[in-house]
Structure 1
Amino acid sequence: MIHSSGLLIFLLDRHTQISAKIAMTDQQKRFIFEQADIRGEVVQLEQAYELAIKNRNFPEPIEQLLGQFLAAASLMSSTLKFDGTLSLQAKGSGPLNLIMAESSNQKSLRAVARMDESVDFNAIDTSDIRTLIGSDGYLAIIIEPDQGERYQGIVPLDSDNLAGCLEHYFHQSEQIETRFWFAQSKQRCAGLLLQALPKQVIANAHDNAEYWQTVNHLAETVKPEELLDLDQDVLIYRLFNEFEVRAFDSRPVKFECGCSRERSAKALLSLGENEVNQMIKELGVITIDCQFCLKQYNFNDSDITELFLQQKPTLH
């Protein structure tokens, strides 16, 4: 039985036939199990994924991993109860020395990756995230409220894939059983999350444990093409139709970079007038590149003069 909620949009029992509709991408849907303390999220991205990799010329394995990071950041940011952002990043000394995705609580995504362009990625095992990031690599989850203290959790890369690394993070740092499944193609990426909630009043501990095992077993049957291409309600029904599931309205997800000329100007101000004047003397024009969307912001000599004049107090 699936309830779709905001307002109860539809009700299906397990004997109802449901047609396989094509997914509307760049959407995320939350769902909960009525009989157990378990929640889920599914996200499917197309345009956001396309914009994240556009004009980057990444090898295909890095594009696919970046898609997984985008899906993971969007899924994880659903737990934010405040205005702010969640960043998921992996760093190391490997050929892919940085990969990062960021999601706001409003589902605005952006991502970046930095790689050693001299490496032949066809000659290494790109199926193992530890080979790409490096043996010294680590995974960081950073939560930054618009107002409040920044939080950062770090775990080693102790699995060969992102899903396993994230599951270890939640088990070790949050003590919450959490599972992830990802899929990606050249056009789309998608992710599925299941999470055991703290004990509520729905079921006792023994029943919750049994439900968790069964739900995970069912989720393991998901095929990449189903996760990528099926309508989200259809996907949830196919996987979990033997349970009562309440599915909430899908939320739109989009690629959106927060860069601006004003932010770039603030970065120059933070360097100090003397240093910026030396830079403009040597370069003629200071160009600030956004690592996320590749926009460029140029500042010439007159721009710099005006910028620092605006910061000086006016004498009366």
Structure 2
Amino acid sequence: MSSELHKFIFDGLPVRGMLVRLTGAWQEILKRREAAGGYPPEVMQLLGEMTAAGTLMQSNIKFNGALILQIFGDGPVKLAVAEVQPDLSLRATATVTGTVEPGDTLSRLVNVNNLGRCAITLDPKDRLPGQQPYQGVVPLFGDQHEKIENLGDVLEHYMLQSEQLDTRMILAADGQVAAGLLIQRLPMQGQGNLQGQQRSDEDEIGRNEDYKRIALLAGTLKREELLGLDVDTILHRLFWEEKITRFVPGTPTFACSCSQERVSSMLRSLGTAEVESIIAEQGRIDVGCEFCGAQYGFDPVDAAQIFTSQASQLPPAPTVQ
């Protein structure tokens, strides 16, 4: 089954939406993990929700680069990562180092002692000299240090902080589907579906009953409906009284950006002494990709060539006249 991403706007209202259903792409992510024993259901749900959320957030911005959503903390899940490219190619992985108990939620998985964080990184494809990726970090607890159990709530808070736009995000995942619904208030300026409104009314519009009503309707979507129903049925059930304009859907796919050259660059960054030490101890270096399971091997000759090729690319030393 093909994964789907659908964008839509509510005609005449300052509200837009997106609905993603990852099927084939999500199942491929899980398949790549099978050799390592797979994920516990609770971790699988968290990672699936992250992957759906990352797809929605990447599609919500105009950015030529990767959107990387990370969750890390002090629970049995030390790190979970979902990465989505501008063409909606995606990958995801999680590192589990402790015991996951049945029914564990976000706080027990990542945020046992309120040390959990969610980081959203925007990494440009063509960085300028000295340019660094943009990163925003939000805690996994509220203003009163109460623990947040819903990933959608965490990301709604982040998007309100970063974009100053009210957002409602509903997420769900199981072993077959990772899905999400995003509803967002639009800024008035520059939005075609707000023609006829006055800019001075923007603040009032942002708090108006239209967005609140639609966000409330979105909140009635049940987990089993988001996972089990097709996009047409979901939109009709939720918004049958609204006039919606839908756009050409996108097709998210699984893809991994790992390569021999990227692994070589990583080893090169360790330095000659460290690489030679590993070779001396183990006889070779084997590196496995956490995202897709691909294996990259380097024997002593391969390892030496990493630094030989680097030296051959250096500009010639200046001559003394």
Under TM normalisation by the shorter chain, which class is it?
Answer: 0.7 to 0.9
Name the residue aligned to 1:188: 177
Q: Is the 8 A contact 1:80 1:105 kept in 2?
A: no
Per-residue displacement from partner, 1:52-92 (whole Å, max 9, x unpaired)?
22314211111011110000000000123232111111111
The change in CA–CA distance for 1:72 and 1:156 in structure 2 (over 3 A counts) is same
Offset at 1:51?
2.1
Shift in Å, 1:41: 0.6
Secondary structure of 1:31 counterpart: strand
Report how many residues are paired. 289
In structure 1, how many angstroms separate the alpha carbons of the residues matched to 2:214 and 2:159? 18
Match in the other structure for 1:279: 278
User: Match of 2:46, as an amino acid?
Assistant: L
Q: Are 1:240 and 2:239 matched, yes or no? A: yes
Unaligned runs of 5+ in 2: 142-147, 317-321
Question: For residues 311 and 140 of structure 1, what CA distance do their matches in structure 2 show?
Answer: 33
Residues 1:154 and 2:137 aligned together: yes
Query: How far does residue 50 in structure 1 lie from its aligned partner after superposition?
Result: 1.6
Name the CA distance, whole Å, in 2 between partners of 1:168 and 1:193. 13
Which 10-residue stretch deviates more, 165-174 or 247-256?
165-174
State whether residues 87 and 142 of structure 1, in contact with CA within 8 Å, keep that contact through their aligned partners in structure 2: yes
Does residue 71 of the first structure (1) align with residue 52 of the second (2)?
Answer: yes
Report the residue type matching 2:297 in the other structure. N
Equivalence for 2:117: 138
Q: Does the alignment pair 1:259 with 2:258?
A: yes
Q: CA deviation at 1:231?
A: 2.8
**Partner amino acid, structure 1, of 2:101:** F
Q: Following superposition of structure 1 onto structure 2, how do residues 48-197 of structure 1 map, counting pairs within 5 Å? A: 48-54=25-31, 55=34, 56=36, 57-117=38-98, 119-122=99-102, 126-127=104-105, 129-134=106-111, 135-148=114-127, 149=131, 150-158=133-141, 159-197=148-186
Structure 1 residue 305: Cα displacement: 2.5
Query: Secondary structure of 1:310's match?
Result: helix
Amino acid in the other structure paired with 1:152: Q
Distance 1:186 1:313 in 2: 48
SS of corresponding position for 1:51: helix
Q: Does 1:44 align with 2:25?
A: no
Distance (whole Å) between structure 1 residues aligned to residue 312 and residue 250 of structure 2: 46
Distance (Å, rounded) in 2 between the aligned partners of 1:235 and 1:307:
53
CA distance in 2, matches of 1:178, 1:81: 17
Alpha-carbon shift at residue 49 of structure 1 (Å): 1.5
| CA gap 1:243/1:120 in 2 versus in 1, 3 angstroms | closer
Aligned to 1:270: 269
Match of 1:30, SS state, is: strand
Q: CA deviation at 1:120?
A: 4.5
- The 5-angstrom pairing of residues 186-225 of structure 1 reads 186-200=175-189, 201-202=194-195, 203=197, 204-205=201-202, 206=204, 209-225=208-224
Mark the runs of 5 or more structure 1 residues left unpaired by the alignment. 1-23
* 1:217 CA drift (Å): 1.8
Secondary structure (helix, strand or coil) at the match of 1:98 reads strand
**152-161 vs 79-88, greater mean Cα deviation:** 79-88
Query: What's the % identity of the aligned pairs?
Result: 39
Alignment TM-score, normalising by the size of structure 2: 0.84
